[in-house]
Amino acid sequence: MSTRIVLMANNIDEIGGAQRVVHALASGFADRGFDTCIVGVEPREPLLQLSDVNYQVIRLLEQPYAKDEGPELQAQQESARAALQSILDAGPPGIIITAQVWAMEHVARCQSDGWRTIGQYHSSFQAAQFGPDLQRLIDAYSQSDLFLALTETDARSFTAIGFNNAFAMPNPIARWPEFPADADSRTITYLGRFSAEKAPMTLMQAWRMLTEAGQLPDWNLQFVGSGPHVGQLQEACAVLPRVRVHDQVADPYSVLSATGILAVPSLVEGLPLVIMEALASGVPVVASDCSAGVRELLADESVGVLVNRGDAVALARGLRRLGEHPSLRASMSARGPELMGAYDLDRIMDRWERVIADVMR
């Protein structure tokens, strides 16, 4: 009988990086003969439409958790626990992999005797250390059979504060672009969530500086995504030239194929899938130096430019550097797909199989 794998995330419906990684891993495990079930704690509308998947898909709740404490929330918590317990009891114990700490906190409410547990963290040690997650990670993951950070640097940092089970496992690129991006594109793209930690308004400030200085006059800027800052972005578009806001897309390559530069001004990241997909497409990147994962991907800046986090002036300078030097963009474009080969799904699944074998011993 094949080993059971229950792969959990806070939700499995959004089209963000963490969710796409979870689905890619589920498909990879199933392709390699594991009995794979993917579990989302709560649904997110619109539900992600899946077809021809080779793994089981379950959501613990039919409605998102109530926002306030009270009988409704308590009933939902018990319902989620019971649903997860029934999944665990439906066959022999195997391996539970939680992509996010909230998912692992749900596992802690269940009886999981005989199961091995692997916890992942899809942000950086730096983000955990200076945000609300570190103590939750310690409580939820320090006793897991394995804790997986996204980079060796982050794994060492977690080990330094007492994790004796921390190792590195990068995100995979599950699907590669059919064609390289248009090398003649003069479009700068922001692709992701419009929220404070992603700092889209820092990019808008940088664009204001560039346009007011008459720089990059033949370039456009587009924001593609959704989130709470959409109103602010649309207001800025009304007074700035050559900038537009577009709805989120399910296929990032449909946007990256017509992108000349990807801008990632985030304050917090892990190992961003959007950067990996851009480099795989041959799109150079200007990104804030906000995590070990971003530094790993951009390496010696042979495929992009690192700028100070939260610094609109530095971001504008980085965009101008790439925008005004087509030969530099061309050399970065050629190097990107080569570097991203290390993150191909098959290679990452080989690493996962070795991890699974070690944990099951």
Instruction: Give per-residue pLDDT as tens, 227-265.
Output: 999 999 999 999 999 999 999 998 999 999 999 999 999
- The answer to whether residues 31 and 350 touch, using CB atoms and an 8 Å cutoff, is no
Q: Which amino acid is at 139?
A: D
Q: Are residues 93 and 152 in the same domain?
A: yes
Q: Does residue 226 share a domain with residue 150?
A: no
How many C-beta atoms surround the C-beta of residue 71 within 10 A? 8
Residue 77 sits in the same domain as residue 208: no
In a shared domain, residues 158 and 249: no
> Does residue 265 form part of some domain?
yes
Confidence at residue 97, expressed as pLDDT on a 0 to 100 scale: 97
Task: Tell me the CA distances in angstroms from 63 to 36, 69, 90, 125, 226, one per residue in order.
Answer: 24, 16, 23, 32, 21
In a domain, 181, yes or no: no
Query: Under the phi-then-psi rule, with left for phi > 0, alpha for psi from -120 to 50, and beta for the rest, what region is 188?
Result: beta
User: Do 57 and 154 belong to one domain?
Assistant: yes
Q: What is the pLDDT of residues 84-111, one digit of tens each?
A: 999 999 999 999 999 999 999 999 999 9
In a domain? residue 317: yes
At 1 the pLDDT is: 64
**Which helix or strand (DSSP H or E) is residue 252 part of?**
none
182 within a domain of the structure (yes/no): no
Is the same domain home to 62 and 89?
Answer: yes
Q: Is residue 109 assigned to a domain? A: yes
164 and 206, same structural domain? no
User: Phi/psi zone of residue 265: left (φ > 0), alpha (ψ -120 to 50 degrees), beta?
Assistant: alpha
**pLDDT for residue 142:** 82
3's tokens: 């080993």
| CA 204 – CA 320 distance, rounded (Å) | 14
**Token pair listed for 302:** 């042979």
Output the DSSP codes for 117-164: EEEE--S-HHHHHHSS-HHHHHHHHTTSSEEEESSHHHHHHHHHTT-S
How many structural domains comprise the chain?
A: 2
DSSP string across 157-173 = HHHHTT-SSEEE-PPPB
329 and 351 share a domain? no
User: Which among 126, 108, 128 is positioned nearest to 117, based on CA atoms?
Assistant: 108
Q: Is residue 177 part of a domain?
A: no
The pLDDT of residue 197 is: 95
Q: Do both 122 and 16 map to the same domain?
A: yes
d(CA 168, CA 340) in angstroms, rounded, equals 17
CATH of residue 8: 3.40.50.2000
What domain range is 51 assigned to? Answer: 4-172+344-360
Is residue 179, in this structure, part of any structural domain at all? no
Asked whether residue 319 falls in the same domain as residue 355, the answer is no
Same domain, 265 and 327: yes
- Partners of 262 in beta bridges: 189, 285
Same domain? 166 vs 198: no
Domain for residue 153, yes or no? yes
Q: What is the pLDDT along the chain (361 residues), one digit of tens a residue?
A: 689 999 999 999 988 778 889 999 999 999 999 999 999 999 988 776 777 889 999 999 999 999 999 999 999 999 999 999 999 999 999 999 999 999 999 999 999 999 999 999 999 999 999 888 899 999 999 889 999 999 999 999 999 999 999 999 999 998 999 999 999 999 999 999 999 999 999 999 999 999 999 999 999 999 999 999 999 999 999 999 999 999 999 899 999 999 999 999 999 999 999 999 999 999 999 999 999 999 999 988 999 999 999 999 999 999 999 999 999 999 999 999 999 999 999 999 999 999 999 999 8
Q: What is the pTM of this model?
A: 0.94
Closest CA to 12 of 43, 51, 50, 33: 43
The token pair that represents 181 in the structure block: 């991006």
